Amino acid sequence: MMVRTARLEDTPQLLRLIRDHAQYEGGRATIDKCVLKRLLQVEEPPVRILVAESDQIAGYAALTTDYSLWSGARYGHLDCLFVAKEYRGRGVGQILFLKVREEAHSAGCVRLEWQTPDWNRQATEFYRRNGAESLSKTRFVLQLDAG
């Protein structure tokens, strides 16, 4: 299993995983093939997408960076980490998570943040095993309509 930056030819498999991830969490991914292709081709994308692959893409992770006024430093945001059902329990998530940590550190981030649904105990335990601690906060979402 190797982890690398997603490429244009990964679009069909990656789009399927993104949609599977959204469905798994009870949501719906609205990204389409054209938008994903643009993200994979732009010189400085707003998100770094990593894929774990062997014979096919087994999982993906998405990393963005932001700035914390409280600490006066950049931090990484693990927007997504998802492993296809048939690859779970094989260490794919661990490999992706370690690579995301490395990428965030290389980008000058002082910490990494993410969220996972409360009901996803497997993910919660995975992150705790990797040294993370949870913060109790309420997540709010406000849809901003274009136009």
- Evaluate if residue 105 carries a pLDDT over 90: yes
- Residue 16 pLDDT: 97
pTM: 0.90
Q: What is the CATH number of the domain that holds 54?
A: 3.40.630.30
Question: Distance (Å, rounded) from C-alpha 36 to C-alpha 15?
Answer: 8
Give CA–CA dist 8/24, Å, rounded. 24
- pLDDT for 41: 96
The pLDDT value recorded for residue 146 is 63
Q: What is the pLDDT of residues 38-97, one digit of tens each?
A: 999 999 999 999 999 998 999 999 999 999 999 999 999 999 999 999 999 999 999 999
Q: Find the mean pLDDT for residues 120-144.
A: 86
Q: Can you state the percent helix, strand and coil of the chain, rounding each to 5?
A: 35, 25, 40
Residue 59 counted as domain residue: yes
**Does 52 fall in a domain?**
yes
Residue 52 confidence (pLDDT): 98
Total structural domains within the chain: 1
Range of the domain at 39: 2-129
